[in-house]
A and B are shown apart, each in its own frame.
Chain A
Amino acid sequence: MFGKMKYVVGLLIVTLLFLYACAAKQNAGYIFPSIHPEELEPGRPICSDCHDGNDRIVYARFNHTATFTENHRQLAYQYEQACNMCHQQRFCNGCHGVWMEEKPSDKDTTSTYRRTPHRGDYLARHRIDGRVDPTSCFRCHGNPKTAQNCAPCHG
């Protein structure tokens, strides 16, 4: 089905680069600052309190609501630079590092408001969550290194 996909992709890239050539005389577009220009108040930030919806990114999607920890996947895939305004890679590594020995909730035991994953009985509960939706496990434990956490029981 997708045997010719590589050629389609190549064509798309060439087309996009052509469009770029047309637009190249203009200045650079929206520039993400390297750090957030103003220091934020302590607590979970609600970005839409200050930002409206006419920027490149819809800041309301970045509101750090109570469930943001489990809902930020696509934002990171699309707008890693926006995350980087406030978070350095080590913050992401706390959960996403290729080899972290401590599970996120054990590494940070005192930030209960963050609802870090795998809190409490998760060793027992993952038997159920893993059966129900193994794709959510695979995102973090899907390569040989990160799967070392699984190896003692799963081989």
Chain B
Amino acid sequence: MKIEKCVKVFSCCAVGCLLAPAWVVAGQLEVTSETSLAFYERDSKTDKDLALVPLREYLGVDYITDVEGLSFHGYGWGRFNLGENDYFQDENEGAFLYGYLEYRHAASNVSMLLGRQQLFSGVANESLDGFSLRTPLGTIFDLSLYGGSPVAITEDGRSGDSIVGGRIANFRPGLYELGLSYKLIRNDSTDDDEKLGVDVSLNLPYSIGFNGFSSVNMLTDSWAEHSYEMQVQAGSFQIRPMLQLFQYDDYFSSNEKSANPFRFLADSGEELTIIGVEVDWFGAESYELNLKAKNIAYDLRDDSSNYISGMVIKHLEDLCQVGIELGVMAGDTSDNEYLLGRAFVYWDRLPESIPVEFISSDLVFVGYGEDIYGQSNSTFISLGTGKTFLDKALALKFSLDYSRDPYFDNDFRSKLVAEYTFGKE
């Protein structure tokens, strides 16, 4: 049965690719296919060491019509477990992530999207079925508007579900941008999420930048979040102090439909303050250095945690990078402590005498302040490689991962990926 479904879908893909050249005559079509075959073992509630062989297809379509500025974009994925078990029976077998018509008037910079789309705009990070519009208003204003049905709230049907919102921004190139945004999500005709946001970017003298945003939960009538950051360029250093404040009662939602891990936080009355600084150094052309320090403090719990990390990346010839990272989370309680060490090598453009084009490797070691399921530490190793064919239209990649951590004694996972782009110019 699974094989039959597999054959059906891939037959459709093949037919699509065969028909595509005819389509191209009327416009420009690009089809991207990412097919992956993974192999690993997992325990289910009733069985141990089930062999999982999920075959996944991520399919993207971009079609630029002959009508100037009009195009279609779509993307989704599907999965078939080729293993002889029902491990994935309670999971979705795929998802339609977006599919929209876009009209863009190049001269005026007006763009309109109609269909399922992912949207980032002010207080919105949403997927919706509907429309969105972006347009400049004169030379110093920008407006975006959107409306439709939210994709994330569909458990009990979509009747009475809606999302509307927008952002208006005032800007002066090289000086500042000030944005005001709003969104309202209704679930079953009841207000589920209503946020108002203000965002700002300032380009100050002496190469100092300031940016951030605040959001108000309109349902609780109080601030939910303030997040602000400065960028100070001092020679080859870029220093970025930051401050974040969260009020849990207003940031999280205690609605019945709210996601479970966070629902109880919304009634906790807790306030979280994060003060930190990040420093990037580009002093030597081939080196990249990053240092980060954060203090994360709670008002009600009256304790705090500190995270400090450092990372050095050496850039070699042929796009080869070698990096080392060390991080320490130190909390007031030992169960909030860990030490993280990571090393990675990514080498693109390997010599032609080597039959693959790149190698990718990762080693992550984490020691925990307090044992988790009797384990005091974990190790993760990843090795990957790949090669392109057909003038880079086809890429084959292979990876092998190993984990030993509180959840897996000795876990091996392998994955083969074929990425194919039809119509790429």
Report which A residues bind B (CB closer than 8 A).
Answer: 1-3, 5-6, 9, 12-13, 16-17, 19-20, 22-32, 34, 42-43, 53-58, 60-61, 65-67, 71, 74, 76-78, 80-81, 83, 88-90, 92-93, 96-102, 106, 109-113, 119-121, 123-125, 127-135, 137-139, 141-147, 150-151, 154-155
* Cβ-defined contact, B361 with A2, below 8 A: no
Residues from chain B with a CB closer than 8 A to the CB of A101 are 56, 77, 79, 91-92, 95
Chain B positions 273-290 with a Cβ under 8 Å from a chain A Cβ: 274, 278, 280, 288, 290
Say whether B346 contacts A24, CB under 8 Å. no
A119 touches B364 (CB 8 A): yes
CB-CB < 8 A to A142: which residues of B? 252-253, 258-259, 262
Chosen A-B contacts, 7 in total, with CB atoms closer than 8 Å, are A24-B138, A56-B171, A60-B233, A97-B118, A101-B95, A131-B336, A144-B258
Which residues in chain B, 229-274, are within 8 Å of chain A measured between CB atoms?
229, 231, 233, 238, 244, 246, 251-253, 257-262, 265, 272, 274
The residue from B108, B141, B227, B342 contacting A74, defined by CB atoms under 8 A apart: B227
In angstroms, Cα B272 to Cα A80, docked, is: 28
**What is the interface of chain B, defined by CB distance below 8 A to chain A?**
32, 56, 58, 60, 62, 73, 75, 77, 79, 91-92, 95, 97-98, 104, 106-109, 117-125, 127, 134, 136-142, 151-155, 168-171, 173-174, 177, 179-182, 196, 199, 201, 203, 207, 209, 211-213, 216, 218, 221-222, 225, 227, 229, 231, 233, 238, 244, 246, 251-253, 257-262, 265, 272, 274, 278, 280, 288, 290, 292, 296, 305, 307, 311, 313, 319, 321, 323, 329, 331, 335-338, 340, 342, 344-346, 348-349, 358, 360-362, 364, 366, 368, 372, 375, 378, 380, 382, 384-386, 397, 399, 401, 403, 405-407, 415, 417
Q: A27-B139, A143-B152, A147-B259 are in contact. Are A135 and B246 (CB under 8 A)?
A: yes
Closest-by-CB residue of B relative to A4 is: B221
A95 to B313, CA, bound (A): 24
- B104 (CB) vs chain A CBs: closest residue: A34
Tell me the bound Cα distance from A113 to B344 in angstroms: 8
A residues near B209, Cβ cutoff 8 Å? 58, 60-61
Q: Which of A42, A76, A112, A144 contacts B382 (CB 8 A)?
A: A112
Q: A2-B221, A138-B251 are in contact. List 12 more A-B contacts (CB 8 A).
A: A23-B138, A29-B139, A65-B280, A74-B229, A98-B152, A109-B397, A109-B415, A128-B335, A132-B307, A132-B336, A142-B258, A146-B259
In the complex, the answer to whether B290 meets A66 with C-beta atoms within 8 Å is yes
Determine if B384 and A110 form an interchain contact, defined as CB atoms under 8 angstroms apart.
yes
Q: Are B406 and A124 in contact (CB under 8 A)?
A: yes
Nearest Cβ on chain A to B358's Cβ, whole angstroms: 8
Instruction: Please state if B140 and A76 are interface contacts (CB–CB under 8 Å).
Output: no
Interface of B is mostly: strand
A6 to B57, CA, bound (A): 45
Return chain A residues, CB-CB under 8 Å to B207: 53
Chain B residues in 8 Å Cβ range of A113: 321, 323, 344, 346, 360
Q: Which of A34, A60, A88, A137 contacts B231 (CB 8 A)?
A: A60
Q: CB distance B401 to A109 under 8 Å? A: yes
* Nearest opposing residue in chain A for B30, CB measure: A88
How far apart are A149's CB and chain B's nearest CB, in angstroms? 10
A99, B336: Cβ atoms closer than 8 Å: no
- Contacts A56-B177, A151-B260 given; does A93 touch B323 at CB 8 Å: no
Q: Are B211 and A74 in contact (CB under 8 A)?
A: yes
Residues of B contacting A61 in the complex (Cβ-Cβ under 8 angstroms): 209, 211, 231
**Known: A54-B173, A119-B364. Is A43-B348 also a contact (CB below 8 A)?**
yes
A151 and B386 CA atoms in complex are apart in Å by 35
Tell me whether B261 and A154 are in contact (CB under 8 A).
yes
The distance from the CB of B122 to the nearest CB of chain A, in whole angstroms, is 6
CB contacts (< 8 Å) of A16 on chain B: these are: 137, 141, 168, 170, 180
- Inter-subunit contact B290/A67 (CB<8 Å): yes
Instruction: Report whether A2 and B120 are in contact in the complex, using a CB–CB cutoff of 8 Å.
Output: no
Q: Is the CB of B280 within 8 A of A42?
A: no
Query: Are A143 and B344 closer than 8 Å at their CB atoms?
Result: no
- A28-B139, A32-B109, A55-B174 known; A147-B95 Cβ under 8 A: no
Q: State whether A102 touches B56 (Cβ < 8 A).
A: yes
Residues of A near B361 (CB, < 8 A) are 112
Q: Given A29-B139, A145-B152, does the pair A124, B177 have CB atoms closer than 8 Å?
A: no
